[in-house]
Amino acid sequence: MSQIKNLIPTTVNPDLQKERTAATFSVDEFAAWWQGGADKLNTKRVIEQAVFSDLEDGYGINHEYMSHEDLYNSTVKKVAEAAPKLKALQEKLNPGGKDIWPGCLYSVLAHGLFPANHPLATHITMFVDVIKGQGTPEQVEKWGSLAENCNIIGTYAQTELAHGTNVRGIETRADYDPRAGEFVLNTPNLEAYKWWPGGLGHTANHAMVVAQLYIAGKHKGVQMFIVPLRDPETHMPLPGIDIGEIGKKLGMAAVNQGFLGLKNVRIPRTNMLMKYAKVDRDGTFTASPASKVTYLTMVFTRCLIVNLNSTLLLQAATIATRYSAVRRQSPIEPDQPEPQIIDHVTQRLKLFPEIATGMAYHLAAEHMWELYDQTVLDANNGKFDRLPDMHILSCALKVLCTTDGCAGIERLRLSTGGHGYHIAANLSNIYGNAVAAYTYEGENTVLLLQIGRALVKAWASYKQGQTPSSSYAYFESSMRLKEFPKWTGSWQCIVQALQYTAAHKTRIAFENLSERIAAGQSQAVATNNTGIELTRAAELHGRQFVCETFIAQITGPKAQKRSPALNKVLENVVELFLVQTVLNNLNEILRFVNLTDEDLRSLQKRLELSLEKFRPDAVAVCDGFDFHDRVLNSVLGSYDGNVYPRLFDAAKRSTMNQKPVQKSFETYLKPLMKANL
């Protein structure tokens, strides 16, 4: 217990209260809209009250002073203690649903319940989903309920020590033995060890192993297999299983990522997921009707990543914005008191665009879930034509959200000065959780290259007279123009300029790729040499989609359900995001769109004006995200704004402060100080 806990006021910091009083819209209306309705908002708050109310003092920071092993075991304890609470809440609030249990294990609530993260997230988000999405009805019946209820705990083992994003290059091998009706799984070399799966180290007792299938020595492609790893009673590794944890990482301290090697591990034939591809008892292989159907799992996970990283960005923005309303420094007028640092225009530029960015990606993710649900429905009915576009869009959103989000979180940390460097600010943990997504589920540059290849393929089809799919419809509208129309600066003009630029960047990439092939380079070498152009075209393809989606989500019929006051604030957020997007991509846009000096000056003025308009509502908007203090877990971002007492309280909690003199003094420091060196 901190010795100065009584110094933390029970009142709200007056500067922060002043910000809330000055807001031009209803925070409750914003929060209800953001959560998808007043009922969902109320349910969220009921759940938070139930699970957070009895957490012990220091719950959010004590883990920082634990050993690596103690931290893991403490987190498993927290998961086990939370499970019955969440199950009871599920039965009370939504019987038969999955939104609270196990849904809260990977929702925003989990950020507060498990401040060091936890080892079951991969189990819930991937192992369970893969079974339900790609298993037969019999397999779903056998494994699905057990997995959803955590009676078995799994992970998704795809990445290997030497292979990640290139799934086709993985080396883990599954050979079918028709006499026994079993698959025999092997890790052929050190490089083929599974590496990074969450919970694999000491938590999971099953894994969804992604391996190369061979039947009678013939390769049948990449398939997925449910592999038992540990004895269900003793948890000891089963024969042929070499398993453990990979060690400490930059973040995700309690996720328990692991390694896995397999040596002649036999599993029944029915442990291969066979909703699409199938292996009969006699070894007859039936290929999946759509080669990209296995991408559904990755699409699902990438939608989750966009949800997660946009949320992490907004958490960091909430912390930094509240702190900026409390912190006073550097008089603007020399003879005036120190202002709130949020009054410095340069500080606003660090804060407000990140709020707009987080909101844009959050709403883009909501749109992607709608597309995903329709894609799954189509796939279940044997229609797979949506899959390629869905895959590319999910790649683009994952890349942009993680890239912009990670950069934004770091800018927000820097905006809080030295105090943001303290672990109790929680910005370093937020960054550690966010930045991992830059790499997992497809390294961002590799994904950009995939998008780029899809763009030039779509461009080639378009040039051959085929009508582009909806994702590439802007090719046609852009190329009908001999030159870009006079710049008006409207939102539609901005989106059109981004699409026009993306189309021409794709055209140039296609032309340069074709020239390289004509000059004798192979397709693969030419594609590699065109990589810079492909990735830039890919990024612009994604940015035009996000901008267009953001406008659609804020304006039109949906706006009629919101008050004029809230719409005015949201429209300014869109304005800020669009203008900032143009300014950040001028190097590409100016190549194809003629903007005058007056146009550029106008964009700068619009940026400054949108920052000024956002200033009175910044704290209230962050309040509207409705992050519980346990979720933010930050001495700088607490709702009450009592930054300095909370910082001091956090310092007092350091285990080194539990005794006035450390043991190293007598042993080392005192002799050093008395030595005649």
DSSP per-residue letters across 443-494: -HHHHHHHHHHHHHHHHHHHHTTPPPPGGGHHHHHHHT-SSPPPP---HHHH
- Contact 250/435 with Cβ under 8 angstroms? yes
Q: In this structure, what are the phi and psi dihedrals at residue 177, rounded to the nearest 5 degrees? A: -105, 100
Cβ neighbours, 10 Å, residue 548? 20
Other CB atoms closer than 10 Å to residue 263's CB: what's the count? 12
Percent above pLDDT 90 for the chain:
89
Q: What is the pLDDT of residue 517?
A: 98
Q: What is the pLDDT of residue 441?
A: 84
* 535 labeled part of a ligand binding site: no
User: pLDDT tens digits, residue range 235-264?
Assistant: 999 999 999 999 999 999 999 999 999 999
Tokens representing 105 are 């294990």
Q: Cα(162)–Cα(183) distance, rounded to whole angstroms?
A: 24
CA distances from 617 to 31, 73, 363 (A): 14, 43, 20
**549-577: average pLDDT:** 96
The CA-based diameter of the chain, rounded to the nearest angstrom, is 90
Residue 624 pLDDT > 70: yes
3-state DSSP call for residue 30? helix
Better-scored residue on pLDDT, 296 or 287? 287
SS3 153: coil
Residues of the chain with CATH 1.20.140.10: 1-35+294-676
Burial string for 201-236 (b: 16+ CB within 10 Å, else e) reads bbbbbbbbbbbbbbbeeeebebbbbbbbbbeeeeee
What would the two tokens of residue 310 be? 């946009």
At residue 34, does pLDDT exceed 50? yes
656 CB neighbour count, 10 Å cutoff: 7
In angstroms, the Cα distances linking 31 to 44, 201, 224 are: 11, 39, 41
Residue 501: closest CA among 545, 467, 544: 544
User: CA nearest 339: which of 349, 350, 328, 348?
Assistant: 328
Contact between residue 332 and residue 556 where contact means Cβ atoms under 8 Å apart? no
Question: Please, where in the chain does CATH 2.40.110.10 lie?
Answer: 153-289
Q: Which residues contact 605 (CB under 8 A, 6 or more apart)?
A: none
Res 85: pLDDT: 94
Q: What is the mean pLDDT of residues 55-81?
A: 95
At 293 the pLDDT is 65
Asked whether residue 4 carries a pLDDT value surpassing 60, the answer given is no
Instruction: Specify the amino acid at residue 405.
Output: G
Q: Are strands 173-177 and 206-215 parallel, antiparallel or unpaired?
A: parallel
Catalytic, out of 48, 64, 441, 575: 441
Say which residue the tokens 């497809």 belong to.
Answer: 442
Who's near 465: CB < 8 A, 6+ residues apart? none
pLDDT (tens digit per residue) in 70-122? 999 999 999 999 999 999 999 999 999 999 999 999 999 999 999 999 999 99
**CA pair distance 658, 257, nearest whole angstrom:** 33
Dihedrals phi, psi of 542, to nearest 5 degrees: -70, -40
The dihedral formed by the CA atoms of 63, 66, 71 and 77, expressed in degrees to the nearest 10: -70
488-538: pLDDT as tens digits: 999 999 999 999 999 999 999 999 999 999 999 999 999 999 999 999 999
Q: What is the pLDDT of residue 294?
A: 64
- How is residue 234 written in tokens? 């003793």
Q: Report yes or no: 290 and 379 within 8 Å, Cβ to Cβ.
A: yes
Q: Mean pLDDT throughout 659-668?
A: 96
Taking only Cα atoms into account, the Rg of the chain, rounded to an integer number of angstroms, comes to: 27
pLDDT on residue 2: 45
- The CATH number of 153-289 is 2.40.110.10
56 is catalytic: no
615: pLDDT strictly greater than 70: yes
What's the token pair of residue 243?
A: 């398993």
pLDDT tens, position by position, 476-490: 999 999 999 999 999
Phi/psi for 411 (5° steps) reads -60, -40
574-596: average pLDDT: 98
What is the helix (H) or strand (E) element at residue 613, kind and residue range?
helix 597-614
* Angstrom distance (rounded) from CA 585 to CA 673: 58
Position 5 pLDDT exceeds 60: no
In 3D space, the residue among 297, 300, 307, 303 whose CA is nearest the CA of residue 36 turns out to be 307
Residue 290 has pLDDT above 70, yes or no: no
Q: What phi and psi, each to the nearest 5 degrees, are found at residue 96?
A: 85, -10
Q: What is the pLDDT of residues 292-314, one digit of tens each?
A: 666 777 788 899 899 999 999 99
Cα–Cα distance measured from residue 395 to residue 389, given in angstroms and rounded to the nearest whole number:
10
Over range 136-159, report the average pLDDT: 95
Of the listed ranges 246-255, 288-297, 360-369, 406-415, the least confidently predicted one is 288-297
* pTM metric for this prediction: 0.95
- Residue 198, annotated as binding a ligand: yes
Give CA–CA dist 400/549, Å, rounded: 14
Beta bridge partners of 241: 262
- pLDDT, residue 1, reads 41
The architecture that CATH gives domain 1-35+294-676 is Up-down Bundle (1.20)
Task: Please name the residues in contact with 503: beta carbons below 8 A apart, sequence gap of 6 or more.
Answer: 474, 475, 478, 479
Q: At what angle are helices 597-614 and 345-380 packed, to 10 degrees? A: 90
d(CA 210, CA 212): 7
Can you tell me the mean pLDDT for 650-665? 94
Amino acid at position 432, single letter: G
Q: Are 236 and 214 in contact (CB under 8 A)?
A: no
Is 655 exposed, middle or buried (CB count within 10 Å of its CB: 0-12, 13-18, 19+)?
Answer: exposed
Measuring CA to CA, which residue among 633, 621, 646 is closest to residue 111?
633
How many helices (H) and strands (E) in the chain?
26, 11
Which amino acid type is present at position 320? A
519-533 confidence digits (pLDDT tens): 999 999 999 999 999
* Stretch 142-165: mean pLDDT: 93
**Mean pLDDT on 571-598:** 98
Kindly report, residue by residue over 313-331, the tens digit of the pLDDT. Answer: 999 999 999 999 999 999 9
- φ, ψ of residue 160 to 5 degrees: the values are -120, 170
Give the whole-angstrom CA distance, residue 170 versus residue 356: 39
Round the average pLDDT of the chain to a whole number and report it.
95
Cβ atoms < 10 Å from Cβ of 517:
15
CA distance 177 to 194: 23
